[in-house]
Amino acid sequence: MTENTEKKNPIRLLMGKVGLDGHTRGLWYVSHIERDDGYEVVSPGFRKTPLQVVNTAIQEDVVAIGLSFLSGAHIPLTREVIRLLKEKKAEDILVFCGGVIPDDDVIALKNMGVVEVFTPGTRDTTIIEKIGAFLKDRAYESE
């Protein structure tokens, strides 16, 4: 467990599926372990546009967006989410991704500004540790 479980107001994360990908197992898995670790998880639903995900993230005052992919569209869809965050002056919202993503694309996503990419088989403790670390590195504190 991370320090987040001891906070009165948990850190809010958005977990989203953009594009036409309807595979949700990984998204639910990561959402549950985040919730169990004390984060408040917001979901805009499935098959959303990047704009819908970004607007929800801003409205819900989240500190990070987690995007889940199995469709192979992770590069253009993540690029659009990051572009929209910048356009809306919300680039302080961190982005992490997960799913079936080739190693070369992991590098490309990180070069775009994605803070972490979780692929199948990543241990739940590793996910929680890395999410906690990049949020702490950015000095996000719950009130």
- 143 located within any domain: no
- How far apart, in whole angstroms, are the C-alpha atoms of residue 95 and residue 114? 5
Q: What is the CATH number of the domain that holds 56?
A: 3.40.50.280
Query: What's the confidence (pLDDT) of residue 44?
Result: 85
**Residue 91 confidence (pLDDT) above 70:** yes
- Output the six-digit token pair for 31: 């959402």
In a domain, 22, yes or no: yes
Cα–Cα distance for residue pair 67/140, rounded to 1 Å: 20
Average model confidence (pLDDT) across the chain: 88
pLDDT value of position 75: 96
* Coil, strand or helix at 114: coil
pLDDT tens digits, one per residue of 38-66: 999 998 878 899 999 999 999 999 999 99
What is the amino acid identity at position 5? T
Structural domains in the chain (count): 1
Rounded to two decimals, what is the model's pTM? 0.88
Task: Determine, yes or no, domain membership for 119.
Answer: yes
